[in-house]
Homo-oligomer: A and B are copies of this chain.
Amino acid sequence: LIQSHPALQLFVDKLETHTALDDDDRAAILALPHTLRTLEASAYLFREGDHAANCCVILSGFACRHKIVAGGARQILSVHMRGDGTDLQNAFLPLGDHSIQALTRVEVAFIPADKVREAALARPLVGRALWSETLLDAAIQREWTANVGRRDSRTRIAHLLCELGLRQERIGLCDRRYYALPMTQEQLADATGLTPVHVNRTLQALRAEGVIAREKRTIDIADWDHLTRIGDFHMAYLEPPAHKPA
């Protein structure tokens, strides 16, 4: 990682997509004590049940949140990317009810949860920004619940592809129509509540129709609007609200 900027700058940028901050607020966040670490794919950032002492900020790469159910099946609950804060909730509610795992090699900043809490309590706008970040996370979670609960496999996968593309575009990683999809078909299956075999067949169908193309770990979407229609994707739930005059 080229440290031309403070490590947490990416996090500040993300927060400012939904909450206006002033210089002192930015400084307070950038000054948070943190530990930088690089983890390989499949490594755990946090394990369900461990003492939830840290919040994480992803500096590069991709990670996911998941739960294991009885029988060993896994459900991926969300995917996180550059600038995302995960486990911010630990600042106030250290449930530790799920694991965070690297999907690719990731660079992470671990911030002690109590320092995050102090910063949130000390500066209202910082608190507001962090809170909003967890609220956006919750909005995504609601959409995932509907996705795995009520959509068929084709729609589910198309929806996931839309979300990942749009979120990556939002943070300036790429164009929503051509982006790095870091997940294997098995991981896509765990994210959509399907089996790897069925994900494979569904992706093949989408490719055969020319809706998407895939090479290596890259997704190429021929017609974005078409994919959103297939995936019943309405971006409102990802929309940072227009900044209101306080």
CB 8 Å contact bits of A92-111 with B (1 = contact, 0 = none): 11111110000000000000
Assess whether A89 is interfacial by the CB under 8 Å rule.
yes
Min CB distance A164 to B, Å, is: 16
Interface pair B134/A127, CB less than 8 Å apart: no
* Chain A interfacial residues counted at CB < 8 A: 50
Please give me the residue from chain B that is nearest to A88 by CB atom.
B135
- Give the chain B neighbours of A70 by CB distance below 8 A: 151, 155, 232
**B-contacting residues of A (Cβ < 8 Å)?**
18-19, 49, 65, 67, 69-70, 73-75, 77, 89, 92-98, 120-121, 124, 127-128, 131-132, 134-139, 141-146, 148-151, 155, 192-193, 232, 236-237, 239, 241
> 8 A-B contacts, Cβ less than 8 Å apart?
A69-B150, A75-B149, A92-B131, A92-B132, A93-B132, A124-B127, A131-B134, A149-B192
